[in-house]
Amino acid sequence: MRHSIRTGFSFGLTSGIITTLGVIVGLHSSTHSDTLVIGGILVVAVADALSDAMGIHVAEESSGHHSAREIWEATGATFLSKLVFALTFVIPIALLSLTTAIVVSVAWGLLLIVVLSLFLARLQGLRPLSVIVEHLAIAVVVIAATHYIGDWVSTLG
């Protein structure tokens, strides 16, 4: 896989999972509405995917080390991977009870992070367990923080 595509894919997948899980968990704990959770996923899948693609585009341009083709490959890979992986979270929300769907979504997201972390660790010759633990710890912090933020927001109205 070309470096530019791997960069965009890794960034988009990670951002798509972490952002979508944060939105899902936060909206669930604040609203308990499957409609609002699905709406949040769709917004992340489109708006945040475009935003992150623009961000990686500008970041790659500013490095001064990449060709126009490499920059556009990273941009496209970021957008597509974030869009696709964010949209996968609609499936459990649409098919299961909301509480069960949240558990399934968190498990799905964490599994994807484990698989990506394993791939990256092997690619870089690092110990997989330390990379996996580091990435899972960050994801768990996001999930916990957004849960408690959602709980707090639910008390405001």
Interval 144-149 mean pLDDT = 97
pLDDT band at 150 (very low <50, low <70, confident <90, very high): very high
pLDDT, residue 148, reads: 97
Is pLDDT of 157 > 80? no
Give the mean model confidence (pLDDT) for residues 121-125: 92
pLDDT of residue 64: 85
Whole-number Å distance between alpha carbons of 126 and 119: 10
Give residue 63's pLDDT. 85
Q: Which residues contact 55 (CB under 8 A, 6 or more apart)?
A: none
Angle made by CA atoms 151, 156, 157, in degrees to the nearest 5: 110
Q: Average pLDDT in the 76-84 region?
A: 95
Where would I find the H helices in the chain?
3-31, 34-43, 49-63, 68-87, 90-95, 98-124, 128-154
Answer yes or no: are the C-beta atoms of 88 and 113 closer than 8 Å: no
Instruction: Indicate the domain borders of the chain.
Output: 3-154
Indicate the DSSP class of residue 2: -
Report the distance separating Cα 132 and Cα 110, nearest Å: 10
What is the reported pLDDT for 37?
97
pTM of the model: 0.91
Per-residue model confidence (pLDDT) at position 66? 87
- Taking only the tens place, the pLDDT of each residue in 94-106 is 999 999 999 999 9
pLDDT class for 1, splitting at 50, 70, 90?
A: confident
Share of the chain above pLDDT 70, in %: 100
Count CA atoms closer than 13 A to 96's CA, side-chain side.
13
Kindly report, residue by residue over 34-71, the tens digit of the pLDDT. 999 999 999 999 999 999 999 999 998 998 888 899 89
Contact 21, 86 (CB under 8 A): no
Contact between 135 and 46 (Cβ < 8 Å)? no
